[in-house]
Amino acid sequence: SAEPGYAAWLGRERLTDSARLALKATWGQALHVAEDDPHIETAAAELADGLTKLMGERPARIRASDGAPCIVLGTFGGSAKAAAAFHAAERAAVGDEGYRVRVREDGGRITIAGATGRGVLYGVFRLLRMIGTGAALAGADLCENPANELRMINQWDNADGSVERGYAGRSIFYRDGEIVRDLSRIRDYARLLASVGVNAIAINNVNVHRPETLFMTERCLPRIARIADVFGAYGIRLFLSVNYAAPIEIGGLSAADPLDPEVRAWWRAKTEEIYRSMPDFGGYLVKADSEFRPGPFTYGRDHADGANMLAEALQPFGGLVIWRCFVYNCKQDWRDRKTDRARAAFDHFTPLDGRFRDNVVLQVKNGPMDFQVREPVSPLFGAMAHTNLAIEFQATQEYTGQQRHLCYLVPQWKEALDFDTRARGAGSTVKRVVDRSLFGTRHGGFAAVSNIGDDANWTGHLLAQANLYGFGRLAWDPELSAEGIAEEWTRLTFGADDLVVRTVRAMLLDSWSIYESYTAPLGVGWMVKPNHHYGPDVDGYEYSMWGTYHFADRDGIGVDRTAATGTGYARQYREPNASQYESLERTPDELLLFFHHVPYTYRLKSGKTVIQHIYDSRFEGAERAEALLDSWTRLERRVDDGRYAQVKARLEEQAVHAKEWRDVLNAYFWRKSGIPDTRGRVIY
C-alpha cells in the first residue's frame, strides 16, 4: 500500500546519485547466495527489495562468483564464501541470532554472515539501516549479538476485531470473530518487527475470552499455523495467550486444578496437538487470577503450581510459559488504607522464587502499578534471583496520550532498565536482570504491548511508530541511547533533511516530559477518566475499587508508602533504594507523591512548593504542547503532504487537550487547597 506512513521506517527513499555510485563501486550489482534456507531466502529477498528501492535497479542474484564485486550473504555452515571471510575466532563470536557485516576497505565485497539464517536476516536489516541513515560503509566491520534472548510483542487483539487499549484502528489479525484470510498485512507487520529484531509474538489478548479460547481447537489451529508460518519466515516465534480455565471451557473437564492429573494430562495432550500443527510454536502467555481472569487461586494453589503445570506440558517441545505478574486485588474497598496495590506483585511472587520450572518466565510490568506516566521501577526485579524474568513495557499509549498526544517512551524505558536494584551490589541494573547476566538465569528478555492496528500508518499517530521501533532496538541493545534511537528512526522515516531530523528528534525527546507536565503530577497516577482512560478526571478513580488513589484533600496529597507510617511498599526495595524512598527529603521530586503524603506547601528540591509546582508545570506543559505544533509546522513541504497533515492534526488536538488538562487540574487543586497561584494566572 502506498498510503502515507504505511512503509514506516522501511520506506527507503532513492539515494542521491553520488551515494549510489559509491555503493555500486563497493558491491557491483550482485547478491551472492549459495544456500537453501528459508531465513536466508527472506534475507535475500529483503536485501534485493531494499536495494532496488535505494538504487533504482534490481540487483542480480548469483550462486557462484569469479571474484567480481558482490554482496555475500550466508551462514558459516552453509556458504563457503561467508565462512572464508572470517577466522575461526571471528565466527565463534557470533551467537545464534548474531551477525557479522564486513565491508572491504578497498571495495569489491560486502559480507553479511551469521551462524543461522536468522542472524543473516538481522545482518541484512543492519546493512540497510546503515545505508538508510547515511552511515559510512567503507571498512565497516561489525559483530553484533542481541543482548536479550526474548524480544517479544504482545498483541491485545480480540477475535471480534477489537484491540484492547488499541489506538490505531481495528485488529490486523481478526475480523468479525474470524482469523483473517489475507495475510499480506500480517506479513508486512512481520517485516517491520524483524527489521528491529523482534523474535516472538503473542497474537491474542491476555484477556482470553471464549472465542480466543477456541484458538486451541482443531478448527482454528490450521489458520493459526498459517500465521505462524508468516512470522516464522521472519524469525519470529508465535505464542498464544491462553485461558487458564480452558480445560473446563473446551476440554469438558469440571475443574482446572493444576495438581489434578486429569487436568495435567489435558494440557499435555493439547500442547502436543498444537506442536503437531506448529513445530516452532513458542509457548503460552498467561494472565491468571487477575482482573477477573481464572487461575490457580480458585483451587487453593499458587502461581508456581499453575505455571509449572503448563511448563511441564511445553517442556518436551522447548516451549516457554510466559506468566504475567500483574496480579492484584481489583476489588479493593477505597476505605481500606492498608492494602496497597503497588505491593501486590512482590507480595505474591517473591515467596515463590526458585519454585518455577526452567521454562517459565515471569513477565513483570516495568512499574508496580500499571504503565503510568511516571512510576518507580518494580521492586520484583531485584528480588527473584532464582527465577527467569522479562520486563513488560506498554508501547500502546494507554496512560500516555493514546497516540493522540505525542509521547516517545524510550526515555522512560531507559530509566527503568538503568535502575540499579543493588541485588548483587552496585551495578545490578534491571537490564542485567532480564538479559540474564546478573543472576545467570536460563531465560529472560523484553516484552511490549503492541501499539499497532489497521490504521493505514499502523500507529494512528505517525510519530508513535518510533515507540515500536525503539522497543525493538532497545530489546536488541539496551545500551543504545534514547537520542540515538530517535535520530535513527527519524532519518529512516523522513530522510536526511537536517532541519527535519533535528526538529523531529527534539520533539520526540521532549515529549514524555511535556506529557507528564500537564497530566498527573509528581508520581501520583491515574487522574484520568474511568474505563477509557483518556482525558483529565482527578477523582476518576479516587473512590473506586481499583486501588489507584492519590488521597488529595484540602491540606495535601500523595500516598504514604513508607514503612514507618505508610503501607511499607518502600521496604520492598533493597538498600540504599529502600532508605532513599523511605526518606521524604531524599525521594526524587518526580516520585514524591508516589511515596509520601505531603502538604501542598511542602517545598520540593526544585525550591517550589508542591502546589506551585502543580500550577507552573500545568501552565508550562500546555505551552510546550503548543510549541510542539509550532515546531512541526516549520516542516511543511519538507515532509510529504500526507504524513505532514496526519501529524499536524494530532498535534493540534494535543495542544487543545493539554489546555483542558491544565485547567481541570489547576481548578481542582485551587478549589481544594484555596492556595492561589503566586503568579496570578487564570484558574477557573
- Exactly one of 201, 206, 227, 320 binds ligand GCW (CB under 6 A); which one? 206
Report d(CA 522, CA 600) in Å as an integer.
12
* Catalytic residue (one of 291, 553, 555, 641): 291
For CA atoms 112, 200, 421, 376, the dihedral sign is positive
Write down the least CB distance from residue 38 to ligand GCW, Å: 33
Site string for ligand GCW, 371-410 (x = CB under 6 A): x--------------------------x------------
* Binding to ligand GCW, residues 149-178 (CB under 6 A): 156, 164-165
Q: What is the DSSP letter of 528?
A: B
Question: CB burial class (10 A; 0-12, 13-18, 19+) of residue 499?
Answer: exposed
β-strand 360-365 against 237-242: which pairing, if any? unpaired
β 320-324/360-365 pair status: parallel
How many residues would you count in the chain? 684
In the bound state with ligand GCW, the residue whose beta carbon lies nearer, of 116 and 397, is 397
- Which segments of 349-490 are extended strands (E)? 360-365, 388-394, 444-449
By CB under 6 A, residue 326 contacts ligand GCW? yes
**Residues paired with residue 82 on neighbouring β-strands, in sequence order:** none
Of 139 and 530, the one with the shorter C-beta distance to ligand GCW is 530
Q: Are 124 and 43 in contact (CB under 8 A)?
A: yes
Selected catalytic residue, list 144, 157, 257, 370: 370
To the query of whether residue 636 is one of the catalytic residues in this protein, the response is no
Helices 303-314 and 261-277, interaxial angle, to 10°?
A: 40
When asked if residue 231 is in the footprint of ligand GCW (CB under 6 A), the reply is no
Peptide bond into 576 cis (omega under 30): yes
Of 119 and 367, which CB lies nearer to ligand GCW in the complex structure?
367
Measure the CA–CA gap between 79 and 505, rounded to whole angstroms: 40
Please, which residue, 91 or 165, has the CB nearer to ligand GCW? 165
For position 583 contacting ligand GCW by CB under 6 A, the verdict is no
For residues 326 and 594, which CB has a smaller minimum distance to ligand GCW in the complex?
326
Tell the smallest beta-carbon distance from residue 373 to ligand GCW (Å): 13
Q: Reply yes or no on whether 291 is catalytic.
A: yes
Strand 150-154 to 444-449 pairing? parallel
Tell the residue number behind the cell numbers 488538562, with chain if given. 661
Binding mask 344-373 for ligand GCW (x = CB under 6 A): --------------------------xx--
Contacts with ligand GCW in 97-156 (CB under 6 A)?
156
**Residue of 157, 398, 488, 510 marked catalytic:** 398
Among 207, 277, 298, 350, which residue interacts with ligand GCW (rule: CB under 6 A)?
207
Residue 291 CB, nearest approach to ligand GCW (Å): 6
User: Binding residues for ligand GCW, how many (CB under 6 A)?
Assistant: 10
181 exposure class (CB count in 10 Å sphere: 0-12, 13-18, 19+)? exposed
35 is catalytic: no
Positions 243 through 302 that interact with ligand GCW (CB under 6 A)? 287
Nearer to ligand GCW, 221 or 452 (CB): 452
Residues linked to residue 365 through DSSP beta bridges, in sequence order? 392
For ligand GCW, which is the closer residue by CB, 286 or 438? 286
Q: Single out the residue of 410, 452, 442, 414 nearest to residue 430, CA to CA.
A: 414
Catalytic residues, which ones?
291, 370, 398
| Residue ranges binding ligand GCW (CB under 6 A) | 156, 164-165, 206-207, 287, 326, 370-371, 398
